[in-house]
């Protein structure tokens, strides 16, 4: 394996080498507007020009795309680039058009006439880069047509998806390696920002048949990103609060399509004067394109999205990435949090840890998915070790000096917001209120007669006044599941909230 230090792609020399003596550098300057190639980029490009297959692991923002786009203009034959998401494919096509690179896309929805014209232009040498999804390439008659195009290089972008998604989510990814053989491509490059040793081995097995392949790796650390974890009792309330406080542009990841829509509507209600949108694979192509363009141009927008957004999408100025749910793996988390600060400016990655994650973990049946998720869940639970080094260790990399995390700064939030207020209320009003009434009083709901009439003499009234009743009730039930409060199942106080028998009563917050 060839490894490079952070300096290999973070520091530039005082003056770049003379472009007149370097055709690669000259092409980077004239076609891509890049005045200097990092050493690791030069090495990867050299491997391509020397027709060496390779696995390339470079952190987000280190210029992976240029490593296959630039040599595509020099190779004797076109380059096929497989991309996992249509949003990524669209973003890359936009960038190719901006710099005048002859590229085309092979995707679902093309008419037979459009496909025929595409393949004619490839065979005529008019297209140097073909961007495609694996599913489009494997479908007949596309596969037959691709065989006649004489591809010199096949690139698998975001190659960690071969391992993560190929197991069950998108089975076509298991056959990506065979695609190269079927269309007669001798050289394959796999690019990703993060990969543990287990993922690397899986990529080698699926793409390269376990044959020896050159591995080029740079450190995965993003020193400009500050990492923190926030334990929460009500994910909805915590999400609204974090969305209000986070610096924008803000990207929020949710697990499901429905969650993105619900969260976007709630954030819009909480801050109607600030723009917010949602994004997921269920939108039409026109809707996705519109949202992508809006967010790319936005300086103060918040986008709530599933993992369908983000891989390789080069919006440079995202200041905050907020995960409402724990992602499926460490690699996914590093990829998604790495959407922040691609312009090199300070940014933040915030991960919410709720009781719902324990329930989600318990429901996972697939042992591989369960193990991947469990590693990141362990990271989120701990509050002793440096977040940054912990993430790196989980993908098999050495620890680094921390440039910003809640643990190293001594700012770990150990008690979820709202916990102190609920525990004090449950202790002060032992066996007095059912959960629903307790929630109404705590949030100051005007619909509750007792709270409205006696709010001055009901201690704890509206102590969670910025929450709504459902959020407080969710928080109470989370504490109930954790054994911090209790509700007798029988007897004269059946169904009424009380403090747990564990320990002394809490102080008033």
Give 25-83 as a 3 state SS string: HHHHHHHHCCCCCCHHHHHHHHHHHCCCCEEEECCCCCCHHHHHHHHHCCCCCCEEEEC
Residue 2 pLDDT: 58
User: β-strands 276-279, 302-305: how paired?
Assistant: parallel
Assigned token pair, 321: 């990435």
**How many CB atoms within 10 Å of residue 75?**
17
CA dist 79 and 65 (Å) reads 13
Assigned token pair, 92: 């890359």
Residue 313 pLDDT: 66
CA dist 101 and 400 (Å) reads 38
Residue 445 pLDDT: 78
Residue 433 pLDDT: 94
Please tell me the CATH superfamily of domain 225-394, with its number. P-loop containing nucleotide triphosphate hydrolases (3.40.50.300)
Measured at the CA of 100, the angle between CA 161 and CA 123, to 5 degrees, comes to 70
> Per residue, what are the HEC states of 375-440?
HHHHHHHCCCCCHHHHHHHHCCCCCCCCCCECCCCCCCCCCCCCHHHHHHHHHHCCCCCEHHHHHH
- DSSP 8-state symbol, 456: G
CA dist 169 and 83 (Å) reads 15
CA dist 9 and 30 (Å) reads 21
Fold of 419-499: Arc Repressor Mutant, subunit A (1.10.10)
Look at the chain and count its residues: 509
Burial of 76 per CB tally in 10 Å (0-12, 13-18, 19+):
exposed
Residue 446 pLDDT: 63
Residue 109 pLDDT: 82
- DSSP 8-state symbol, 455: G
CA dist 104 and 96 (Å) reads 9
- DSSP 8-state symbol, 196: -
β-sheet bridge partners, residue 191: 56
Residue 168 pLDDT: 55
Residue given tokens 């080069």 in the structure block = 314
Residue 396 pLDDT: 84
CA dist 24 and 210 (Å) reads 31
CA dist 13 and 37 (Å) reads 11
Residue 451 pLDDT: 47
pLDDT in tens, the chain (509 residues): 555 545 555 554 444 444 345 788 889 989 888 888 888 899 999 999 999 999 999 887 778 889 999 999 999 999 999 998 777 788 888 888 888 889 999 988 889 999 999 999 999 999 999 999 998 999 888 999 999 999 999 999 988 888 766 555 577 777 888 999 999 999 999 998 888 888 899 899 989 988 889 999 877 888 999 999 999 999 999 999 999 999 999 999 999 999 999 999 999 998 889 999 999 989 988 898 899 899 999 999 999 999 878 655 678 899 999 999 999 888 889 889 988 998 889 999 999 999 888 788 778 888 878 888 899 999 999 999 999 999 999 888 888 899 999 999 999 999 999 999 999 999 999 999 999 999 999 998 765 555 455 555 688 999 999 999 999 999 999 999 889 999 998 888 899 999 875 544 666 77
CA dist 393 and 216 (Å) reads 18
Comparing CA positions, the residue from 300, 293, 292 lying closest to residue 318 is: 300
β-sheet bridge partners, residue 131: 81, 105
CA dist 245 and 267 (Å) reads 12
Comparing CA positions, the residue from 247, 244, 235 lying closest to residue 272 is: 244
Indicate the domain borders of the chain. 2-218, 225-394, 419-499
Assigned token pair, 155: 């690139």
SS3 assignment, position 465? coil
**How many CB atoms within 10 Å of residue 202?**
20
Q: What is the CATH number of domain 2-218?
A: 3.40.50.300
SS3 assignment, position 203? helix
Domains 2-218 and 225-394 share a fold: yes
233, 287 contact by CB (below 8 A): no
Measured at the CA of 393, the angle between CA 392 and CA 397, to 5 degrees, comes to 65
């Amino acid at each position: 394996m060839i490894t490079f230090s952070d300096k290999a792609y973070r520091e530039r020399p005082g003056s770049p080498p003379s472009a007149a003596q370097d055709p690669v550098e000259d092409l980077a300057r004239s076609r891509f507007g890049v005045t200097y190639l990092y050493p690791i980029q030069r090495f990867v490009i050299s491997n391509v020009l020397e027709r060496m297959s390779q696995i390339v692991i470079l952190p987000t923002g280190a210029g992976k795309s240029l490593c296959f786009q630039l040599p595509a203009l020099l190779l004797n034959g076109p380059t096929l680039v497989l991309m996992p998401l249509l949003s990524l494919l669209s973003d890359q096509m936009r960038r190719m058009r901006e710099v005048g690179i002859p590229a085309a896309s092979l995707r679902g929805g093309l008419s037979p006439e459009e496909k025929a014209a595409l393949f004619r232009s490839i065979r005529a040498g008019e297209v140097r880069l073909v961007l495609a999804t694996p599913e489009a390439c494997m479908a007949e008659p596309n596969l037959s047509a691709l065989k006649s195009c004489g591809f010199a290089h096949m690139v698998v972008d975001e190659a960690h998806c071969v391992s993560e998604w190929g197991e069950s989510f998108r089975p076509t990814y298991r056959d990506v390696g065979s695609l190269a053989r079927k269309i007669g491509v001798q050289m394959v490059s796999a690019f990703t920002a993060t990969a543990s040793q287990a993922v690397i081995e899986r990529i080698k097995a699926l793409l390269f048949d376990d044959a020896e392949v050159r591995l080029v790796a740079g450190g995965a650390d993003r020193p400009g990103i500050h990492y923190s974890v926030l334990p929460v009792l009500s994910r909805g309330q915590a999400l609204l609060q974090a969305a209000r406080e986070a610096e924008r542009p803000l990207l929020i990841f949710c697990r499901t399509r429905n969650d993105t829509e619900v969260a976007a509507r709630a954030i819009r209600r909480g801050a109607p004067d600030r723009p917010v949108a949602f994004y997921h694979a269920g939108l039409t192509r026109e809707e996705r394109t519109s949202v992508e363009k809006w967010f790319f141009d936005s300086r103060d927008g918040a986008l709530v999205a599933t993992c369908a957004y983000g891989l390789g999408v080069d919006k440079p100025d995202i200041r905050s990435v907020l995960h409402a749910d724990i992602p499926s793996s460490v690699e996914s988390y590093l990829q998604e949090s790495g959407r922040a600060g691609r312009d090199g400016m300070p940014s933040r990655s915030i991960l919410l840890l709720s009781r719902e994650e324990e329930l989600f973990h318990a429901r996972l049946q697939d042992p591989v998915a369960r193990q991947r998720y469990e590693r990141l869940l362990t990271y989120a639970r701990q509050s002793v070790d440096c977040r940054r080094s912990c993430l790196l260790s989980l993908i098999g990399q050495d620890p680094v000096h921390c440039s910003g995390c809640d643990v190293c700064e001594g700012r770990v939030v150990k008690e979820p917001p709202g916990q102190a207020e609920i525990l004090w209320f449950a202790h002060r009003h032992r066996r007095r209120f059912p959960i629903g009434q307790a929630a109404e009083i705590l949030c100051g709901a005007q619909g509750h007669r007792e709270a409205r009439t006696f709010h001055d003499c009901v201690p704890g009234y509206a102590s969670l006044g910025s929450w709504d009743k459902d959020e407080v009730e969710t928080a109470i039930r989370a504490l109930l599941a954790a054994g911090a409060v209790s509700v007798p199942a029988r007897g004269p106080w059946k169904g009424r909230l009380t403090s747990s028998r564990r320990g002394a009563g809490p102080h008033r917050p």
